[in-house]
Structure 1
Amino acid sequence: MSMFNVAENRRSVGTHRLPFLVLSTAVVTVAAAGGAFAAPVSATPPPPIANTQDPSAGADFVGSPAAARPLPPKPVMRPQVSGVHGDSGNTKVYDGPAPLGTDLQVTSMAGTGGPILPFPLPDGRMTAIQLNASDVSVQAISAVDPTTMAVLASWTAPEGQKLNGYMYQRADGAILATSKQGHVYVLQRTDTAQKTVITLKRDIDLASMGVLDPSETLHSAAFDADGGIWFVTGAVTGASAQTATTTTVGHIDEDGGARVVHLKDQVVENGFAVKNTTAYIVTGPAGAADHANAEGHMYAFGPGGGKSPRILWQQAYDSGSATKPGGLSRGSGSTPTLLGSQYVAITDNADQQSNILVYRQKAARGGGSQLVCSVPLGAKNVNSSNDNGMIGYVANGVASLVAQNTYNQPVIDPSTGINGSWNDESVMTGGMQRVDVTPDGRCVTKWNNPVQMRGVPAMSTSTGLVYGSAVDPKLAAEGTYVWYTEAIDFRTGKTVWKKRVGAGGTYNDIGMVVGLGKDGTLYSPVLGGVVSVKDGAAKR
């Protein structure tokens, strides 16, 4: 779950995988498109993001440039899409170049009302979701220039439809979006030397088809590898006013027919993963199931041949007794992460200390347990929780996860002032942890780094580094918020370097997901827009 929590009307507001916050008129989040980027840039690039505090309070650069230590490429995921967590398996791993820390160049680009969140594919084009400031809903999808974020073309949702934050795009330019009112939209982005256009190809009205419960809100949808579409209803329990106590999981065939299954006293609070035609979905407790020592459920669904998708397997996990301090989800706070073709991982919400859980992707023989292994999140007996998806990587027979402890992360509340204490991430328990699943099925913690990081990191196999955004904790405790892009060695867990990007609340990453572009540019979404970081001329 990439997330952020925003105080609004005495409650937190956000989305599990695409966090948005309105400052003025619109929020832009970006996902990569397929095909060659050929359209001319005619729109005016946005201005830089203003610092709202003095950035010179913190060091410009800490550490030393790294030498690239490449890792084997990540396993190929099918379907091949660009999404919030990088790919259909939510791995947040990129095989392309990324900054090593040499003569780093930092550029900021202001959003018209908030963050710009890039999800690059290898060809580098980008497609943006724009947020309506008046009601915190996404109202337009735009093609943007990957360097300047200037808008090239837009598609606006029909009147009365409020788009959800999740969007996926295939290499052929097909874009998948959904509305809270129950519509699934398939768009097509087309780029030529003359222009870029985004057109509506399909509008599937699930609400009119009667497949959704009236109390439910369509939450997200994802392509499968055979032309079908998975969808779920739901909401983030700690970040919305939703009252539904059921979840609908459904699959849409290429002809538009929908098969659904209704899950009572459960709610989807996260994104989900897809491998080939199988959807991996995690739910938290709701309704009568929401009590002390509650259980959530992890599922694998197949399309099925009848009226309902087929439950390939399901297993309960510990959802504890309540949403934890700073948390958004009543159950697991993590979007499922696929580890190659063997495992799928989430975190639970066990009281006091959460756990990292690793399951088999395929159904266990004889109806046995799907759980392969588990390990506590964080150091021994520490309070821990996780509201982010994990990095997932497989090489040489070893599956690895990188997880964060986001316990007690502050509720984002700019209404108290852009430089208010909601920026103080030093109050988080913090910690980043690498866990390996050994060939014999044991979960082993390889390292812990004490970094206090709310945002969702990403990894480059070309550099062997994990990248994320964090505030200087010592300065933050004193009320000065200087923000850095940090690079952590995947092998050792040591922080290699930190580069200052800006200061004040406009540079708060608000739980957004780092993206890595085709040319080695790192994109760090922040409240005021997006920051790009790349190696300078000395590297080239």
Structure 2
Amino acid sequence: MGAARGSAQAAPSAPSPSTGVGPTGTSLMHGDLWSTDSTPFPGPGRHARLAASSVPGGACAATFVGHDGMPVSLCTQFVGTATNRPAPGAGPPNVVVPTVTLFDPATAAPLARLQLAKGGLLGGVYGYLDDHDRVVVADGSGAILRVAHRKTSRGWQVHVDDRIDVARHIPAGDAITGLAPDFSGRIWFATTRGVVGTVDTAKNVRSMRLPRGEELGNGLSIRADGASVLTTHALYEMRAGASGVPHVVWRRAYDRGSARMPGQLTWGSGTTPTYFGPGGDGWVAIVDNARRPQLIVYDSDTGSTVCRMPAFDRSGQGTENSPMAWGDSLVIPSTYGYQYPPMAVTGPSVPANAPFVGGSTRIDVSSHGCRRIWENNDRLATLPRLSRADGLIHALGYGPYVPGTIQQLGPVDYVATDFATGRRVRTLQVGTAPVDEPLELTGTIAPDGTMWQATVGRMLKIER
């Protein structure tokens, strides 16, 4: 595929209704089941403005917008209580508490929240919105919850509408970190320590375990024929037959390096696998954890290598972000050197610190190999969203890296970059770090073009 935007292929067709996923483009953390981190809606773009903001008291890792237009987020509350209904005298203070938080679509103010039991990834940041506008999320008690919202005579309320117990499939000390629906109406889940399972519509739970020592810190990607699961050692293509028990179709080990890199959460690849290419899901891409990280593209059916090449040229050498995809093109942001909170990472990094240089690159893929189209110096600090409607990449970030300066302090900008050329088309200051540190959190773009994006301290409503 060439560099022109118009040559990009269409995204995969919308998910079948049997998946139970909510509105297209606003119901999944990585944009869709294929984890393309793309959207069919135009974003704020060249005429962006900060329309509203609020202080929710926590960092919201993923935001969804349902049929009713209400934004709802998976958040990590800085301070909660020992119960699910915080009130004076309800219990001792509790820190780093996962919550589901509902926001006012006009003012961005928090309307209601529900506290969950702690689990993996600071409470389980992976989840999705179902076709009844319920957040499907795992909590630390060994349950998958469907969390709904409603307006009562006393105001808005967030509540558990359904609960699926999967605790007997999860070893002590383990927790669900990945959660996604499939095309047969099942829910797939994966735990930090390598348990992969499914839940069918009758709530029957089936599971298997990947080799011991392999852990998961990323999400699951789903296509009609199976699921892509990435551990700290290998990429797996998996399926679940009539029994519902997941089984391995193929496994490909990758170079996981000698240690966790600065700017990544675990020792291993930081990418959620991305399906893209022929038929929308014929290829699957990851970036490994080699000293000079490699983009590797596999055939989804066979596991054969389509192409591989250095993921970055002059950018920081590593990423924790899933590649964005459009047609046969991938866009990969670098997070090398990004400083996460100590509680979020696993084990020491080598080196202990590195400059957050940033940079993003577009690589086009064909059956003949990979080809770099452009590379820029965008220091993106959120999980970006690629709009197939306006051809722009939308994110929050910092200005260019200046040697000797303190990293991740100063202006925080809304950034819009042209997918075709890699050139910046809009820079709008929307905050100041450390209060508005973007923390690599995930936003969403609503059908009206509004971008809902959290920082460590605020929820931002950015509109055209």
TM range (shorter): 0.7 to 0.9
Note if 1:324 corresponds to 2:261.
yes
Report the counterpart of residue 44 of structure 2 in structure 1.
99
Distance 1:482-1:86 versus aligned 2 partners, 3 A rule: same
Note if 1:148 corresponds to 2:135.
no
Counterpart AA for 2:103: V
Report the counterpart of residue 391 of structure 1 in structure 2.
324
CA–CA distance in 2 between the matches of 1:124 and 1:476? 43
How many matched pairs?
Answer: 420
CA–CA distance in 2 between the matches of 1:158 and 1:404? 32
CA–CA distance in 2 between the matches of 1:75 and 1:105? 31
Distance 1:250-1:109 versus aligned 2 partners, 3 A rule: same
Counterpart AA for 2:220: F
Report the counterpart of residue 172 of structure 2 in structure 1.
214
Identity, in percent, stands at 25
Choose which of 449, 461, 469 in structure 1 pairs with 2:396: 469
What are the Cα deviations for residues 127-158 of structure 1, in whole angstroms up to 9, with x where unaligned? Answer: 233434233131x4243222323344544447
Secondary structure in 2 aligned to 1:85?
Answer: coil
Report the counterpart of residue 253 of structure 1 in structure 2.
200
Distance 1:262-1:501 versus aligned 2 partners, 3 A rule: same
Secondary structure in 1 aligned to 2:126?
Answer: coil
Distance 1:319-1:182 versus aligned 2 partners, 3 A rule: same
Report the counterpart of residue 119 of structure 1 in structure 2.
64
1:426 and 1:476 in contact (8 A); partners too: no
Distance 1:157-1:122 versus aligned 2 partners, 3 A rule: closer
Note if 1:345 corresponds to 2:285.
yes
What are the Cα deviations for residues 178-215 of structure 1, in whole angstroms up to 9, with x where unaligned? Answer: 112311113345679998665534322222xx322224
Secondary structure in 2 aligned to 1:101?
Answer: helix
2:334 and 2:360 in contact (8 A); partners too: yes
Note if 1:271 corresponds to 2:204.
no
Report the counterpart of residue 137 of structure 2 in structure 1.
177
Distance 1:483-1:413 versus aligned 2 partners, 3 A rule: farther
CA–CA distance in 2 between the matches of 1:427 and 1:124? 40
CA–CA distance in 2 between the matches of 1:506 and 1:475? 21
Give the stretch that moved more between structures: 335-344 or 127-136: 127-136
Counterpart AA for 1:187: V
Question: Deviation at 1:159?
Answer: 10
Question: Deviation at 1:354?
Answer: 0.5
Distance 1:173-1:70 versus aligned 2 partners, 3 A rule: farther
CA–CA distance in 2 between the matches of 1:400 and 1:115? 31
Secondary structure in 2 aligned to 1:268?
Answer: coil
Counterpart AA for 2:269: S
Distance 1:259-1:441 versus aligned 2 partners, 3 A rule: farther
Secondary structure in 2 aligned to 1:507?
Answer: coil
Note if 1:378 corresponds to 2:312.
yes
CA–CA distance in 1 between the matches of 2:445 and 2:404? 30
Choose which of 198, 205, 229 in structure 2 pairs with 1:281: 229
CA–CA distance in 1 between the matches of 2:389 and 2:271? 26
Distance 1:310-1:504 versus aligned 2 partners, 3 A rule: closer
What are the Cα deviations for residues 440-466 of structure 1, in whole angstroms up to 9, with x where unaligned? Answer: 242111111122223211111221111
Distance 1:514-1:158 versus aligned 2 partners, 3 A rule: closer
CA–CA distance in 1 between the matches of 2:191 and 2:361? 31
1:69 and 1:464 in contact (8 A); partners too: no
Report the counterpart of residue 526 of structure 1 in structure 2.
455
1:226 and 1:277 in contact (8 A); partners too: no
Distance 1:71-1:190 versus aligned 2 partners, 3 A rule: farther
Question: Deviation at 1:270?
Answer: 0.6
1:69 and 1:462 in contact (8 A); partners too: no
1:181 and 1:218 in contact (8 A); partners too: no
Counterpart AA for 2:324: I
Distance 1:249-1:181 versus aligned 2 partners, 3 A rule: same
Question: Deviation at 1:99?
Answer: 2.2
Counterpart AA for 1:247: G
Question: Deviation at 1:257?
Answer: 1.7
Counterpart AA for 2:189: F
Report the counterpart of residue 360 of structure 1 in structure 2.
299
CA–CA distance in 1 between the matches of 2:398 and 2:421? 22
CA–CA distance in 2 between the matches of 1:426 and 1:328? 14
Question: Deviation at 1:477?
Answer: 4.9
1:270 and 1:335 in contact (8 A); partners too: yes
Question: Deviation at 1:333?
Answer: 0.3
CA–CA distance in 1 between the matches of 2:145 and 2:126? 12
Distance 1:251-1:106 versus aligned 2 partners, 3 A rule: same
Report the counterpart of residue 484 of structure 1 in structure 2.
413
CA–CA distance in 1 between the matches of 2:287 and 2:119? 36
TM-score by length of 1: 0.71
Counterpart AA for 1:428: F
Secondary structure in 2 aligned to 1:375?
Answer: strand
1:326 and 1:407 in contact (8 A); partners too: yes
